[in-house]
Chains A and B, each alone.
Chain A
Amino acid sequence: MSSRIQSPDASLSLASDAPNLETRRSFLGKSGLVLSGAAVALLAGRDVLAKGNRPAGSDVNVLNSALGAELEAIAAYQVGAESGLLQKPVLNLAVTFQGHHKEHADVLTKTIIKLGGQPVSAKEKYTFPVETLKTQSDVLRFAAMLEKGAVSAYLGAVPVFENRDLAKAAASILGDEAMHWAILRNALGDAPVPAAFMS
């Protein structure tokens, strides 16, 4: 049995608040977010559009399934952070990683809009296996599983993008999530980097 968890508003406001897009754009424009590697690559995507070389709709689908997974990860870290099971410094890690996922979600959302697509918004409720999350290690293991899954998902996205800039952006996010995975494994006392290749 899994419980349904209300996803916290705070973590979702960036990605699901469509009417505030303009405000958000100008906010992002002033903040350092725009300078991230992924954002730079995504901006390059605009040139592809400008040349009339419109990426196939499948790029938007791929971006949207990545966005769906990122939004869920944000909610999952929120549940972890609020569980009372995480002690500092692990709690700080969780909050930092959640922040990265928010940045990923934001860049993906903006890119989907730029490509003329409709970004998925966060679900009101997510299902998490909370009945199996009883200790800090349980929470870390669950987070590690999601991060590993995210690496695999981006790895599966890289070759299918029509637009090579998007493939580069996905690889940039993949690198970040692989670091999360390794750090979480390290915190668990597992070999942080168990293999030479990700699959």
Chain B
Amino acid sequence: MSAAAVLAVVVGAAAAKGELTGDPKAGEAIYARCFACHALAYNRTGPKHCGLLGRRAGSVAGFEYSAAMKRANWVWNRQTLDRFLADPLKAVPGTTMGYAGVKDRQERADLIAYIEQAGRSEVCRAR
């Protein structure tokens, strides 16, 4: 197989699996939708988002999660975030995050890319 064909297969596979490339800059604007309840660096109505990627769902010390979120047995990564943010109440029935979700796949990819990038930023490294 030529390099181009391999690339095509790989790209095709990624597309089939539904992986989109997120743009953190676009994601930053989408993150404004979360500002009523979340901040990167501290808990509000919702838990802080610094350190989100790689941590277990429902595990920020000092935040009072729903029983449902505490029971959700997964680690936050692009896939689990994508599933949760598409429809929080369906992904975690009983969650106290009363929000319909971000329905657009590209917007979710952008949002997740932003949260990932923000996790490496000054604001989060200071914590």
Contacts and interface: CB of A to CB of B under 8 A. Distances in A.
Interface of A: 1-2, 57-58, 61-66, 68-69, 72, 126-127, 129, 145-146, 148-150, 152-153, 155-160, 199
Given A1-B126, A149-B33, A149-B34, A69 B99 contact: no
Contacts of B7: none
Given A68-B45, A145-B32, A148-B32, 4 more contacts: A65-B99, A146-B35, A153-B33, A156-B33
B101 interface: yes
B89 interface: yes
Interface footprint category on B: 20 to 34
Q: Is the interface of B mostly helix, strand, loop or mixed?
A: loop
A139 to B, nearest CB: 15
B120 interface: no
B126 A157 contact: no
Interface of B: 30, 32-37, 39, 41-46, 66, 89, 93-101, 126
B45 A69 contact: yes
Nearest to B95: A61
Contact of B99 (A57, A127, A156): A156
Given A65-B96, A160-B99, A199 B42 contact: no
B34 to A, nearest CB: 7
B87 to A, nearest CB: 9
